Amino acid sequence: MEKFVITGGTPLHGTVTISGAKNAAVAIVAATILCDEPCVLENVPEISDITICMKILRSMGAIVKRVTDNTYYFDTRCITETKVPYELARLMRASTYFLGTLLGRFHDACVAMPGGCDLGDRPIDQHLKAFTSLGAKHDLHNGEVHCYADELIGSQVYFDMNTVGGTINAIMAAVKAKGLTIIENAAKEPHIVDLANFLNSMGADIRGAGTDVIKIRGVSFLKGITYGIIPDQIEAGTYMVAAAATKGDVIIKNVIPKHLESITAKLRKIGVTVIENDESVEVRVDGPLIKTNIKTMPHPGFPTDMQPQFSTLLTLAEGTSVITDDIFDNRFKYVSELRRMGADISVDGTVAVIQGKGALQGAPVQATDLRAGAALIIAGLAASGVTEVENIHFVERGYENIDKKLEGIGAAIKRVVVADVDVDQMRMSG
Ligand code: EPU
């Protein structure tokens, strides 16, 4: 196991380049199963969730080869197995995407139910509801969900709530179903649009991705293509907050500024200067940080995946900020770690009240999930003294080379080996 040792207090300066989007990549890599010819993906982030996706594909018989940095070749024609090994599935929430892709191609899929995770209860009832609408049945046996159908027939899918994973799984199951599927109350996140663009480039007929009604006319063949994954909105947002928290001046490259609008708007409200260019944003602090309130919402609202980073930033502002995050029921687990660094935050259910004090002090802390880990790294960069962030395997699920990228913009961050802990501590997130 490793930890990050951060000596804080240095403003970040320079340019950092954003990698491909984790939440698009986990869906698109799983969706290669639907492709009837080999395909190539570019801008694939080198993160552990993607390594797990590739191991799952290989375990089922697919050929996955690294072409160059961040570019991979996939040939899934040779898949013979429709069951995702439990040991791999349990490591990653996005393994549920293999239900949609395997069902879509083979009409048969078996994946371990996502178990105890970091953000509270995360059921998949809406995913299963979508599959049922298309004519599939499912059984739960030995902790695994088995979905199967003689054929999948296009239908109307109505989601009871905004669900990113449910929308992605419904698209993947419907893309080769017979006839027209209409998904209503669909999620609108950029990664859903990216998945639809990938599938459409291969010959799928998906319209409306990015709105709350998605129409999919099933096709029988998807051709091989080369496709580049969009930049990671949350990774970009994390570096934007790191620049602000350290009162630095950083240019964040390879971004789609439109995807960052809700993050940019909040940073500006906090008193941070954000300059948007075509494919980059510059973030700098010219004055004091100002308290604000935040409520997380599905896209295009403020993303729950940026809540811990912004809460950390608001501990550095003067005054009281209120954060409401009810997308998941337990996304404030990192707060007790931030308190160790001197933060004054009280949490009542899905609401956190931050009494900003303008400063944090270094301390040993533990990441409790992916974005919590990012928030604690930001806290360490802004704090006086030394912060040690443990459980960095959570951070590595979604941030490519975060220590090297931060070092490149002036952070004093070192990766240090610590004694091994039980692998069962690896819980799901993402
Ligand atoms: N929900 C249900 N039933 C379902 C599906 C969802 O009750 O069948 C509930 C969830 O429990 C949650 C809410 O609906 O309370 C929203 O869940 P959603 O399905 O939208 O989330 P997800 O697909 O599990 C993805 C991202 C998360 C991100 C959320 C919200 C991936 C792999 N994960 O999760 O990303 O927080 O959408 O935007 O795309 C992260 O990257 O750190 C991360 C956690």
Alpha helices in 246-303 (DSSP H): 261-269
pTM of the model: 0.96
Is the CB of residue 97 below 6 angstroms from any atom belonging to ligand 1?
no
Out of 95, 121, 305, 429, give the residue to mutate to test ligand 1, the one with the largest number of ligand atoms within 8 Å of its CB: 305
Give pLDDT tens digits along the chain (430 positions): 899 999 999 999 999 999 999 999 999 999 999 999 999 999 999 999 999 999 999 999 999 999 999 999 999 999 999 999 989 998 888 999 999 999 999 999 999 876 444 566 678 999 999 999 999 999 998 889 999 999 999 999 999 999 999 999 999 999 999 999 999 999 999 999 999 999 999 999 999 999 999 999 999 999 999 999 999 999 999 999 999 999 999 999 999 999 999 999 999 999 999 999 999 999 999 999 999 999 999 999 999 999 999 999 999 998 999 999 999 988 999 999 999 999 999 999 999 999 998 999 999 999 999 999 999 999 999 999 999 999 999 999 999 999 999 999 999 999 999 876 555 555 554 5
Domains of the chain in sequence order: 2-19+232-421 (3.65.10.10), 22-228 (3.65.10.10)
State residue 422's pLDDT score: 56
CA dihedral 180→163→23→301, nearest 10 degrees, is: 110
Is the CB of residue 23 below 6 angstroms from any atom belonging to ligand 1?
yes
Q: Which atom of ligand 1 is nearest to the CA of 371?
A: 42
Sign of CA dihedral 48, 72, 253, 22: negative
Ligand 1 atom 40 nearest Cα: 430
Q: Which atom of ligand 1 is nearest to the CA of 127?
A: 8
State residue 130's pLDDT score: 98
Q: Which atom of ligand 1 is nearest to the CA of 49?
A: 32
Is the CB of residue 94 below 6 angstroms from any atom belonging to ligand 1?
yes
Out of 19, 22, 23, 259, give the residue to mutate to test ligand 1, the one with the largest number of ligand atoms within 8 Å of its CB: 23
State residue 123's pLDDT score: 87
Q: Which atom of ligand 1 is nearest to the CA of 129?
A: 8
Ligand 1 atom 28 nearest Cα: 305
Question: Is 117 a catalytic site residue?
Answer: yes
State residue 117's pLDDT score: 42
Listed residue (223, 229, 221, 286) closest to 259, CA to CA:
229
State residue 92's pLDDT score: 87
DSSP strand E in 199-344: where? Answer: 205-207, 213-217, 226-228, 249-253, 272-276, 280-285, 294-295, 318-324
380 token code pair: 């360490």
Residue 397 half-sphere exposure, CB side, CA atoms within 13 Å? 25
160 CA distance to ligand 1 centroid (A)?
A: 14
40 token code pair: 């190539």
284 CA distance to ligand 1 centroid (A)?
A: 31
State residue 93's pLDDT score: 86
Is the CB of residue 400 below 6 angstroms from any atom belonging to ligand 1?
no
Please answer whether residues 288 and 270 qualify as being in contact, where contact means their C-beta atoms are separated by less than 8 angstroms: no
State residue 235's pLDDT score: 98
Please answer whether residues 207 and 66 qualify as being in contact, where contact means their C-beta atoms are separated by less than 8 angstroms: no
Is the CB of residue 326 below 6 angstroms from any atom belonging to ligand 1?
no
Helix (H, G, I), strand (E, B) or coil at 331: coil
What residues form DSSP beta bridges with 184?
A: 158, 213
* pLDDT tens per residue, range 248-292: 999 999 999 999 999 999 999 999 999 999 999 999 999 999 999
Is the CB of residue 123 below 6 angstroms from any atom belonging to ligand 1?
yes
Is the CB of residue 179 below 6 angstroms from any atom belonging to ligand 1?
no
